[in-house]
């Protein structure tokens, strides 16, 4: 599908406007000099662990526990993520380390 120059411009403007609204709206709704509502504080406290749990479930959803490597690469990579995060408390290091270990295991060890 090809867009006309006007459609392209309107698409770019719509995406730009949507991005700017999502960036600035929280600052407009919850200024620094005012305390945020209790529900926002509650969500800020419970959503990060809930999202981590969801990501763990998502990562293990297609693991075949009864055939092949029985999920060993996934479990080892998860252990590396937990160990790195417990040691350094650096999310990027934990994710990168776990990903590197998982890729090494599935491409070299369990190939």
List the domain boundaries for the chain.
Answer: 35-109
| Separation CA 67–CA 80 (nearest Å) | 23
Handedness of CA 26, 27, 28, 30 (dihedral sign): positive
**Nearest alpha-carbon partner for 76 in 52, 108, 104:** 104
What is the reported pTM? 0.65
C-alpha to C-alpha distances, 61 to 9, 30, 67, nearest whole angstrom = 41, 38, 15
Query: How many other CB atoms are found less than 10 A from the CB of residue 108?
Result: 8
Query: How many other CB atoms are found less than 10 A from the CB of residue 84?
Result: 19
Tens-digit pLDDT string for the chain (111 aa): 899 999 999 999 999 999 999 999 999 999 999 999 999 999 999 999 999 899 999 999 999 998 888 999 999 999 999 999 999 999 899 999 999 999 999 999 988
């Amino acid at each position: 599908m090809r867009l006309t120059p006007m459609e392209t411009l309107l698409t770019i403007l719509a995406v730009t406007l949507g991005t700017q609204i999502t960036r600035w709206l929280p600052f407009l709704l919850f200024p620094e000099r005012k305390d945020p509502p209790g529900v926002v504080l509650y969500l800020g406290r419970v959503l990060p662990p809930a999202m981590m749990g969801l990501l763990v479930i998502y990562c293990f959803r297609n693991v075949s526990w009864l055939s092949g490597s029985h999920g060993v690469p996934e479990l080892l990579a998860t252990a590396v993520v937990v160990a790195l995060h417990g040691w350094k408390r650096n999310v990027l290091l934990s994710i990168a380390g776990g990903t590197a270990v998982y890729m090494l295991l599935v491409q070299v060890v369990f190939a």
